[in-house]
Amino acid sequence: MIFRTAGQFKTSYEADQALFPIKQDFYLVLGVLLLAYVVFPLTASEFAFKALLVPVLIYSLAALGLNILTGYCGQLSLGTAAFMGVGAYATYKFMSIFPEMNIFVAIFLSGFFSAAVGVAFGLPSLRIKGFYLAIATLAAQFFLVWLFEKWAWLYNYNASGAIEVSTSSVFGITVTGPTALPIVQYYCVLIVVTLVTWFAINLTRGRYGRMWKATRDMDIAAELVGIKLITAKLTAFAVSSYIVGIAGGLLVFFWKGAAEPNLFDIPLSFQILFIAIIGGLGSILGNYLGAILIVALPVVLNLLPNALGIPIDSATLEHLNVMIVGALIIAFLILEPHGLARFYAIIREKLILWPFPY
Amino acid sequence: MNAFVADKALSSANPSADEDREVLLNVENVSLSFGGVKAITDISFDILKGEIRAIIGPNGAGKTSMLNVINGFYHPQEGTITWQGKVRNKIKPHEAVSQGIARTFQNVALFKGMSTLDNIMAGRSTRMKANIFFQMIWYGAAMREEIEHRKRVEDIIDFLEIQAIRRTPVGKLPYGLQKRVELARALAMEPELLLLDEPMAGMNLEEKEDMSRFIVDVNQEFGTTIALIEHDMGVVMDLSDRVVVLDYGKKIADGRPEEVQANQNVIDAYLGVAH
């Protein structure tokens, strides 16, 4: 009843190909946006911003980038964190060379650096596939993190070897640095994420999306319908690394405030990959669902025993978290390879037909 | 089936029509081998503009290899291929598409995770031009282009009577419909020459009749030249204007269906020879 589509007729291809062909989808997204833009900022505490909302947004953006490469184009990558690092270090260099630069301009420009690096490390994909490609991207992971450590110019010859975010402001409002308010940073991240998500949706439903999906589903046939595999794969690497790079910039400048090279080590890559898998490969929505699950789980696990009065020490909780995430990944790979997003799709399909079974 | 077969018989009963037709594709002395295995040996034949040309032969005769040579997937060691009057150099499959050669596959090669509509739209990728920044914004150039191509694709969907499965992921479709979607995707490329590799394999009689009808319609309404590999002799003899017969990578006969049918080499190849 809620999702009744009867009576919503389309009389033009424009209407049929609209972003929300069904009215209810539009209201749903509107509701989520209202929640994100109005309700959360009004109600959330500083802890909620720092530990839940901002990380969820940044992780889902990174997962979105990875999903374009792995979920849409079928090219497995284990170098996500390193590409995030490229974005972060490029933003840092922009901000230290041009201190007056608008931080958003710096972040969006840095995306081009990580896109270029992504394309360079994506070149092997023209020859190798699957696990072998994953190993090749692993090379990017180790090489780039090594570079972040050894190339002192990148962190302005700091004695600590870390990059630290200086205070910067946009339109007179402090957005980065220790004095920035969490709510301001949350809004900054939210706007960037909303914009990039919209771009990603448009890309994946258009010509490029079809090229990527065709490459994923059957690369030989894709070639024989006239799709250049080199273009399809390298654009996927470029777009993916661009988004991942932006996520890296946001991670350091709007959340962590400082970063050492080991932040961009392989555990972060795996975490992003898990978000994409649990959320659903080949879907945009899945990244958000996956990120919510992965970020919220440790927080909930931390609060739950106290609330229930069960004494568990924090080390055990940490282990428990790892175990649950591991079990979830195995469960998803076996039971629902398309992840949480697929659950949503099934529920939506059922709701459209409800109360009839089919 | 009978009505159009009679029609076809009439049109091919007029031999003078063939002689004025220009040669679309000419294959001359082509040989292809993989290491020591000779897939194709010294084959020559031509495909005239607007005809239905069948390539038949027993299993392993080199029919599919021949199609792969034509659309640039394999590169023959010897021989020349002339396309629309120009000798063709070594080309890549996607270049063959932009020159106007499309094909379907023996084993359905659709993009399983995509809907029927997306599969067919993918066939038009080479014709779409809006760059990645316009695509990101969607409104404007990208949307106009998308709609313009959607119209063409919808025409093909109407033509092949697959409106009902527009939004269905092709992995969920029955085999006969998948074959039809594959034909639709090839048609979306608006080819000059359409290569069909066993379009009726594994189909029941009704599906075969439908497919035959579509092939003849494509040929007559769009004027598309068709080269077809098929094992169902009834279909081959009814549909095609001319037939080339391969056996063990060599050409053993070439001509009108009735000539080929009467050819002793062909009978021997199919039925075997008494020793």
Report DSSP letters for A226-261, one per residue. Answer: T--HHHHHHHHHHHHHHHHHHHHHHIIIIIISEE-G
pLDDT at B9: 44
Q: Does pLDDT of B3 surpass 70?
A: no
Whether the Cβ atoms of residue B119 and residue B180 lie closer than 8 Å to each other: no
pLDDT at B271: 84
Whether the Cβ atoms of residue B226 and residue B249 lie closer than 8 Å to each other: no
Closest Cβ–Cβ partner in B105, B121, B136 for A203 = B136
Percent of chain B with pLDDT over 70: 93
A213/B138 CB distance under 8 A: no
Q: Does pLDDT of B2 surpass 50?
A: no
Pairing of strands B52-56, B225-229: parallel
Spatial distance between the Cα atoms of A211 and B123, rounded to a whole number of angstroms: 10
Whether the Cβ atoms of residue A343 and residue A290 lie closer than 8 Å to each other: no
Whether the Cβ atoms of residue B166 and residue B156 lie closer than 8 Å to each other: no
Please report the residues numbered 212 through 251 in chain B whose beta carbons come closer than 8 angstroms to any beta carbon of chain A.
none
Q: Does pLDDT of B173 surpass 60?
A: yes
Tokens of B67: 């199609």
Q: Which residue of A has its CA nearest to B118?
A: A210
Kindly state the helix (H) or strand (E) to which residue B69 belongs, with its residue range: helix B63-70
**What average pLDDT does the segment B20-42 reach?**
88
pLDDT at A354: 80
- CA of B126, closest CA in chain A: separation in Å? 6
What is the dihedral angle through the alpha carbons of A326, A244, A164, A104, rounded to the nearest 10 degrees? -140
pLDDT at B11: 46
Q: Which residue of B has its CA nearest to A200?
A: B136
Spatial distance between the Cα atoms of B233 and B13, rounded to a whole number of angstroms: 19
Asked if omega into A355 is within 30° of 0 (cis), the reply is: yes
Hey, what amino acid is at B223?
A: G
Q: Could you read off the pLDDT of A142-200 as tens digits, one per residue?
A: 999 999 998 989 888 888 888 888 888 888 888 888 888 889 899 999 999 999 999 99
Q: Does pLDDT of B226 surpass 90?
A: yes
Q: Which residues of chain A have pLDDT under 50?
A: none
Spatial distance between the Cα atoms of A298 and A336, rounded to a whole number of angstroms: 23
A265: Cβ contacts below 8 Å, ≥ 6 apart: A81, A141, A145
A207/B97 CB distance under 8 A: no
Q: Could you read off the pLDDT of B40-93 as tens digits, one per residue?
A: 999 999 999 999 999 999 888 889 999 999 988 899 999 999 998 888 888 888
* Three-state SS annotation for B157-174: HHHCCCHHHCCCEHHHCC
Q: How many CB atoms lie within 10 A of CB B172?
A: 12
Q: Which residues of A touch B94 (CB under 8 A)?
A: 223-224, 226-228
Spatial distance between the Cα atoms of B177 and B87, rounded to a whole number of angstroms: 37
B211: Cβ contacts below 8 Å, ≥ 6 apart: B179, B180, B183, B199, B200, B203
Pairing of strands A163-164, B193-197: unpaired
Phi, psi of B227 (to 5 degrees): -115, 130
B196: Cβ contacts below 8 Å, ≥ 6 apart: B103, B104, B183, B186, B215, B226, B227, B228, B229, B230
| Position B6 confidence tier, pLDDT thresholds 50, 70, 90 | very low
Spatial distance between the Cα atoms of A230 and A242, rounded to a whole number of angstroms: 18
Phi, psi of A214 (to 5 degrees): -65, -40
pLDDT at B20: 67
Q: Could you read off the pLDDT of B100-146 as tens digits, one per residue?
A: 999 998 888 899 989 999 999 998 888 888 888 888 888 888 888 88
B248: Cβ contacts below 8 Å, ≥ 6 apart: B41, B60, B61, B62
Would you call A308 helix, strand, or coil by DSSP? Answer: helix
- Flag whether residue A210 sits within 8 Å of chain B, measured between CB atoms: yes
Please report the residues numbered 89 through 148 in chain B whose beta carbons come closer than 8 angstroms to any beta carbon of chain A.
92-94, 97-98, 102-103, 105, 109-114, 118, 121-123, 125-126, 128, 130, 132, 135-138, 142-143, 145-147
Spatial distance between the Cα atoms of B150 and B121, rounded to a whole number of angstroms: 7
The greatest distance separating any two alpha carbons of chain A, rounded to the nearest whole angstrom, comes to 68
What are the structural domains, with CATH classification, of chain B?
2-100+191-271 (3.40.50.300), 112-185 (no CATH)
Q: Residue A114 forms beta bridges with which residues? A: none
Closest Cβ–Cβ partner in A14, A199, A223 for B93 = A223
B146/A17 CB distance under 8 A: yes
Q: Which residue of B138, B185, B190, B197 to mutate against A (max A Cβ within 10 Å)?
A: B138
Q: How far apart are the first and last CA of chain A?
A: 13
- What are the Cα distances from residue B196, in Å, to A78, A127, B44, B64? 40, 29, 19, 10
B125/A207 CB distance under 8 A: yes
